[in-house]
Amino acid sequence: MAEGRRRGGILGLLDLIDAHRGAFEYDWRTRFHLSLEVVPESMGWDEALRLTQQLTLDPSSHVAAAVAGWAHPVSREWAVTADLFDLQHLVAAGKSKPKPYPRPWGKAGRKKLTMASPERWAQIRAELAEQETG
């Protein structure tokens, strides 16, 4: 790796896949009908990065749940329903405070689902473009 370059791009994606391989395999098979083995023979690393970015933004994906450290993925509808459930029980409970419905993120709270900021994604794309041209 060149002096002063941050770890990211292909290496960052490989680290994520290594850390959460089962989640990647499941989402790639069910959502894209592809194996991870298509990278880099049939699919370029840049497309794989873009697909990973989309997966990390979707709380119903196994990749997003794994990257965020959740117990399981949830749909946006599930999250709204759990909030409504808690609100309904809070209203009905009066002065007592009911226990909230368990969330997959536990007591630590929600983690941001993006694995990198938009600026970092731009840097990753620039690094990939540089690797392709140079």
The length of the chain in residues reads: 134
Q: Over the stretch 29-68, which tens digit does the pLDDT of each residue have?
A: 999 999 999 988 899 998 999 999 999 999 999 999 999 9
- For the whole model, what pTM was predicted? 0.71
> Would you state the pLDDT for residue 75?
96
Nearest to 20 by CA among 54, 50, 56: 56
What whole-number distance in Å separates Cα of residue 16 and Cα of residue 75?
22
Alpha helices in 58-109 (DSSP H): 62-68, 76-93
Domain ranges of the chain: 1-69+113-134, 75-110
Residue 80's SS3 state is helix
Whether residue 59 has a cis bond before it, omega within 30° of 0: no
Contacts of 114 (CB under 8 A, 6+ apart): 53, 56, 57
Nearest to 71 by CA among 102, 32, 37: 102
How many other CB atoms are there within 10 angstroms of residue 70's CB atom?
Answer: 20
Per-position pLDDT tens, the chain of length 134: 344 444 567 888 888 999 999 999 999 999 999 999 998 889 999 899 999 999 999 999 999 999 999 999 999 999 999 999 999 999 999 888 899 999 998 875 555 544 556 676 676 667 666 766 65
